[in-house]
Amino acid sequence: MSTLRAAITAVGGYVPEDKLTNQDLEKIIDTTDEWITTRTGIKERRILKDPTKASSDMAVEAIREILNKKQLDPKDIDCIICATVTPDMIFPSTANLIGDKIGAVNAYGFDISAACSGFLYALNLGASLVESGKNKKVIVVGVDKMSAIVDYTDRTTCIIFGDGAGAVLLEPTTEEVGVMDSLLRSDGSGAKHLHMKAGGSLRPASIETVAAKEHYIYQEGKHVFKFAVTGMADISQELLEKNHLTGDDIAWLVPHQANLRIIDATRERINLPKEKVMINIHKYGNTTAGTIPICLWEYEKQLKKGDKLVLAAFGGGFTWGATYIKWAY
Ligand code: UT7
């Protein structure tokens, strides 16, 4: 019996129209375009301004693109996995809300909370469901409305984040393509450097938590940067070695877009030229679980069947990982 693999057979994406540029930020905090550009590579981000819209609405836009491209009946979707740290509500899961909005009446679904590595965690879980034969059509969506949890008076964090969604469809294949291998890690001792202080069962929302601004992202940037640089580069290199690959074999590095300097460190570590790295951080900033699928969506036309891709991420948790994919179409 031939091995069943999970192949990405379609991608979709969505970013809101409204832009928040470095020049806009210069007007509201003590910063400069020059500082933001040289420290992060970001020039602008997209913001979902409509107060009636949430993460599920961006995810729905991304998934609808897949449904249209593949002429897929939503009733045929088996499972929806949504990676996000900005769910519409604490419960029910955003995946359930997405399923309802797109009419995926036969699907089950759930959310994955793994911050910037969320899409990789969700992709690997979805792939396992397909490889096992349990499910035939799995939607994996990475989405975050970071503007909902960013303190726009905190110049150390508000410059980084933006809103957006990217989605993929996973289907079974017996060809030598699809999700080939993965390394995923986490270390909860890193939580103290990047978290949201209140709104969970430890510190439920109260007048005090709101007044103390505890419902925003708390990040010690320098610490996170140090762990991210080594974490993302080391795991990418380890994955290549495990699969007897070198940078020469790789067509594309698809890195989480948190900071251009972190991306460069990973690229240098696995010996790739700049042209082989998917980059859109200058346009969208860090959309957390959205970054990797949004990259795939934007670069889709440049991908060829059989291309070897390394997807790599590092983020809150700490969580990190790398996934080796052979492009399927
Ligand atoms: O995706 C989730 C995981 N998150 C990450 O991967 C983020 C990792 N961290 C980073 O990307 C970087 O640490 C930041 C971009 C957040 C910050 O860059 P940095 O080079 O680490 O700057 P820093 O925090 O060491 O700050 C350097 C200086 C400080 O001033 P002093 O103390 O040296 O006088 C800051 O107050 O820059 C100052 N600063 C700013 N100046 C202008 C901090 N933010 C700003 C700002 N504009 N927006």
Cα distances (angstroms) measured from residue 10 to each of 65, 138, 169, 296: 9, 11, 5, 10
Does 111 score more than 80 pLDDT?
yes
Which of 96, 124, 135, 286 is catalytic? The answer is 286
User: What's the mean pLDDT in 108-129?
Assistant: 98
Report the separation in Å between the CA atom of 221 and the middle of ligand 1, taken as the mean of its atom positions: 6
Which of 82, 116, 158, 295 is catalytic? The answer is 116
Task: Write out pLDDT tens, residues 9-64.
Answer: 999 999 999 999 999 999 999 999 999 999 999 999 999 999 999 999 999 999 99
Q: For residue 158, which atom of ligand 1 is closest to its CA? A: 48
Give the integer Cα–Cα distance in Å for 312 and 314. Answer: 7
Task: Write out pLDDT tens, residues 16-28.
Answer: 999 999 999 999 9
Same domain for 158 and 273: no
Same domain for 222 and 317: yes
Domain ends where: 176, 199, 223? 176
Torsion of CA 237, 243, 248, 254, to 10 degrees: -60
Mutate which of 225, 286, 292 for ligand 1 pocket (most atoms within 8 A of beta carbon): 225
Mutate which of 222, 226, 260, 288 for ligand 1 pocket (most atoms within 8 A of beta carbon): 222
Residue having the nearest C-alpha atom to atom 48 of ligand 1: 155
- The reply to whether 271 belongs to the active site is no
User: What's the mean pLDDT in 169-197?
Assistant: 98
Q: For residue 221, which atom of ligand 1 is closest to its CA? A: 13
- Residue 101: give the domain boundaries: 5-176
Give the integer Cα–Cα distance in Å for 204 and 152. Answer: 22
Q: How many domains does one find in the chain?
A: 2
Give the integer Cα–Cα distance in Å for 74 and 238. Answer: 38
Q: What is the CATH number of the domain that holds 50?
A: 3.40.47.10
Residue having the nearest C-alpha atom to atom 17 of ligand 1: 221
Which of 135, 256, 259, 295 is catalytic? The answer is 256
Query: Does the Cβ of 320 fall within 6 Å of ligand 1?
Result: no
Same domain for 161 and 78: yes
Domain ends where: 137, 154, 176? 176
Same domain for 209 and 103: no
User: What's the mean pLDDT in 264-284?
Assistant: 96
Does 254 score more than 70 pLDDT?
yes
Query: Does the Cβ of 291 fall within 6 Å of ligand 1?
Result: no
SS3 137: coil
Residue having the nearest C-alpha atom to atom 20 of ligand 1: 39
Same domain for 207 and 67: no
Q: Answer whether 250's CB lies under 8 Å from 308's CB.
A: yes
Same domain for 128 and 47: yes
Report the separation in Å between the CA atom of 17 and the middle of ligand 1, taken as the mean of its atom positions: 27
At 165, give phi and psi (nearest 5°).
Answer: -145, 145
Same domain for 87 and 71: yes
Q: Output the pLDDT for position 20.
A: 98
Residue having the nearest C-alpha atom to atom 16 of ligand 1: 221
Mean pLDDT value across the chain: 97
Mutate which of 27, 28, 34, 39 for ligand 1 pocket (most atoms within 8 A of beta carbon): 39
126 pLDDT tier (thresholds 50, 70, 90)? very high
- The reply to whether 256 belongs to the active site is yes
Same domain for 319 and 303: yes
SS3 319: strand
User: What's the mean pLDDT in 278-283?
Assistant: 98
Angle between helices 260-269 and 33-40 (to 10 degrees): 20
Q: Output the pLDDT for position 1.
A: 61
Give the integer Cα–Cα distance in Å for 297 and 263. Answer: 19
Residue having the nearest C-alpha atom to atom 19 of ligand 1: 222
At 153, give phi and psi (nearest 5°).
Answer: -110, -5
Query: Which among 257, 275, 265, 279 is positioned nearest to 237, based on CA atoms?
Result: 265
Same domain for 254 and 151: no
Q: What share of the chain is helix, strand, coil (3-state, %, to 5)?
A: 40, 25, 35
Task: Write out pLDDT tens, residues 80-107.
Answer: 999 999 999 999 999 999 999 999 999 9
Query: Which among 54, 49, 138 is positioned nearest to 92, based on CA atoms?
Result: 54
280 pLDDT tier (thresholds 50, 70, 90)? very high
- The reply to whether 286 belongs to the active site is yes
Domain ends where: 161, 176, 191? 176
Share of the chain above pLDDT 90, in %: 99
Report the separation in Å between the CA atom of 201 and the middle of ligand 1, taken as the mean of its atom positions: 30
Sign, CA dihedral 243-247-252-257, equals: positive
User: What's the mean pLDDT in 305-322?
Assistant: 98
Same domain for 124 and 67: yes
Same domain for 165 and 16: yes
Q: For residue 25, which atom of ligand 1 is closest to its CA? A: 48
Same domain for 111 and 84: yes
Query: Does the Cβ of 195 fall within 6 Å of ligand 1?
Result: no
On whether the pTM is more than 0.95, the answer is yes
Does 2 score more than 90 pLDDT?
no
**Tokens standing for residue 94:** 């955003």
Q: Is 185 exposed, middle or buried (0-12, 13-18, 19+ CB in 10 A)?
A: middle
